[in-house]
Amino acid sequence: MKITKIVNDTIIIILMTGVLLALIEIVLRVSVPEMGAYRKSPKSTAFQFNDKYLVSLKPNHSIVHRVKKENGGGSVNWQTNSLGFRGEELDPKKKPRIIVYGDSNVLARFSEDKDTYTNALQSILQSNNLNAQVINAGIAGAGPDQNLIRLREDFPQVKPDIVIFHLFADNDYGDIMRNRLYDIADNGELIKTVHPVTIDKKLTSKGALIGHLTRNLYLQGAINYLVTSIQEQKQNALSVQQKVDQTLNKLEQLTQSEYHIYKNELPRQSSHFGDHYDIDIATDPRSESAQIKIKLMEKVVLTAKQFCDEKKIPFLVVVQPSMIDLTNLNPNYGRYQDLAQKYPLYKQSNLTDPLKNICIRHNVHCVHLIDSYRQNDPDSLYLGDGHWNAKGQWLAAEQTQKKLKQILAP
């Protein structure tokens, strides 16, 4: 009898809790609709595990992406084709076929199709009487090492005429170190590591299920709002300098931890989605971890170029500078002028210069956006979270078209 009573009481409590939560959800939707803006979409909505390069996009998948508040809010509808690229299917009538590999800046979930870098580039090329198709091969969080593997995997099906590697001079160096997919052998060659490619925690079935069940709840938005408000209150109690110091100290510690994992030949421990500013290269490019990151980047870029050379197709690198190094839009990092005071070796171009030198050294076609961005009001080219905005993408596309015109000239 006691067991039956306990079971009945438990069922009643569960039902009452469910009814109460449902009532709260209804009240929030009717009385506080703005809570919907604070809901978070699980990353697994569009992404899936890939046993070769960690993460890929689900093919033939339609997504409604809720844009972050600091990026203007709202939502963007986008979809993938049968090959898992954002946008339309491959069109054999459009030539040349250009594929652009990159991270979240290229995928550009925060932008409508017409404003993405790849669509902007295609539009500009077509307006210049070149019936090109530009394929968006961006994946949020993807590093150049993953894109090197993807290039080899995609080539037989895609058969591109031109390959573009977008490199984000903010976190792409660190991606190669964190992912643990490649290393440099004693003879200086780029080699695959022995570490297994394991599923990212953010893509596990448990996390995906919970995210799928809660992603549309305004109650989730209310909880996120409360958590965010508490965090903001704590941050508001700090001075501007304390906030900056806190952010930079965390970055330094995180960078040291990641280098420890790499140096001790340990398997990947970071999330594919755990990108952050490469503070070691930015503030001391001579440091041991910075030098290793630059060497890894050089080997990846060179290997990609050699692959394209073998296929007799042009290979182009597009380097996007970090918002942190060109603007003062992110208060948590301080002004770039202040970074120079805290770190004597800091320069705005510390993250772009190595890529420029790599391209020169290996005769790689390259578009360095830092100069054109500086000349076009850099504050107007970025979103609040550091991604380029529509204006930034169109400017990059214009610069890329000029370079492609040179490459394709008879």
In this structure, what are the phi and psi dihedrals at residue 13, rounded to the nearest 5 degrees?
-65, -45
Pair 172, 318 in one domain: yes
Asked, for residue 53, whether it belongs to a domain, the answer is no
* pLDDT at res. 38: 65
Q: Which two tokens stand for residue 64?
A: 């409604």
Burial class of residue 350, CB neighbours in 10 A (0-12, 13-18, 19+): buried
Residue 2 belongs to what domain range?
1-31
Pair 103, 185 in one domain: yes
Pair 224, 115 in one domain: yes
Asked, for residue 187, whether it belongs to a domain, the answer is yes
Pair 302, 173 in one domain: yes
Per-residue pLDDT band for 11 (boundaries 50, 70, 90) equals: confident
Where residue 346 sits, what CATH number does that domain have? 3.40.50.1110
Instruction: Name residue, tokens 């979809």.
Output: 79
Pairing type for strands 62-66 and 75-79 reads antiparallel
* Burial annotation 105-125 (CB, 10 A radius, 16+ → b, else e): bbbbbbbebebbbbbbbbbbb
Pair 125, 15 in one domain: no
* Residue 158 in this model has a pLDDT that exceeds 90: yes
Pair 377, 228 in one domain: yes
Residues in a beta bridge with 135: 99
Pairing type for strands 315-321 and 162-169 reads parallel
Pair 100, 22 in one domain: no
Asked, for residue 210, whether it belongs to a domain, the answer is no
* pLDDT at res. 70: 75
- DSSP 3-state of 298: helix
pLDDT tens across 56-88, in order? 999 999 988 888 777 788 889 999 999 999 999
pLDDT tens across 361-378, in order? 999 999 999 999 999 999
Looking at residue 287, its amino acid is: S
* Residue 212 in this model has a pLDDT that exceeds 60: no
Do residues 322 and 351 make contact, with C-beta atoms less than 8 angstroms apart?
yes
d(CA 314, CA 242): 48
Pair 280, 352 in one domain: yes
Asked, for residue 282, whether it belongs to a domain, the answer is yes
* Percent of the chain at pLDDT exceeding 90: 70
* Residue 210 in this model has a pLDDT that exceeds 60: no
Pair 285, 378 in one domain: yes
d(CA 321, CA 306): 25
* pLDDT at res. 310: 98
Task: Annotate 70-136 with DSSP letters as a single string.
Answer: GGT--EEEEEB-TTS-BSSPP-TTS-SEEEEEESHHHH-TTS-GGGSHHHHHHHHHHHTT---EEEE
d(CA 56, CA 7): 45
Task: Identify the CA nearest to 107 among candidates 76, 129, 132.
Answer: 76
9 against 123, higher pLDDT: 123
Asked, for residue 79, whether it belongs to a domain, the answer is no
341 against 84, higher pLDDT: 84
Asked, for residue 23, whether it belongs to a domain, the answer is yes
Pair 18, 143 in one domain: no
Pair 239, 353 in one domain: yes
Do residues 320 and 166 make contact, with C-beta atoms less than 8 angstroms apart?
yes
Do residues 125 and 132 make contact, with C-beta atoms less than 8 angstroms apart?
yes
Per-residue pLDDT, averaged over 245-267, amounts to 94
d(CA 57, CA 26): 34
d(CA 160, CA 312): 11
Domain tally, the chain: 2
pTM: 0.86
Half-sphere exposure of 299 (CA within 13 A, CB side): 20
Per-residue pLDDT, averaged over 399-409, amounts to 96
Half-sphere exposure of 101 (CA within 13 A, CB side): 27
Task: Identify the CA nearest to 341 among candidates 257, 201, 209, 241.
Answer: 241
Q: Which two tokens stand for residue 262?
A: 């790499």
Pair 12, 106 in one domain: no
Asked, for residue 204, whether it belongs to a domain, the answer is no
* Residue 339 in this model has a pLDDT that exceeds 60: yes
* pLDDT at res. 301: 98
* Residue 43 in this model has a pLDDT that exceeds 60: no
CB atoms within 10 A of CB 37: 17
What does the DSSP 8-state code read for residue 2?
H
* pLDDT at res. 150: 98
- DSSP 3-state of 49: strand
* pLDDT at res. 221: 73
Per-residue pLDDT band for 397 (boundaries 50, 70, 90) equals: very high
Per-residue pLDDT, averaged over 44-56, amounts to 91
Do residues 53 and 197 make contact, with C-beta atoms less than 8 angstroms apart?
yes
Asked, for residue 212, whether it belongs to a domain, the answer is no
* pLDDT at res. 44: 52
Task: Identify the CA nearest to 134 among candidates 73, 90, 169, 165.
Answer: 90
* Residue 211 in this model has a pLDDT that exceeds 90: no
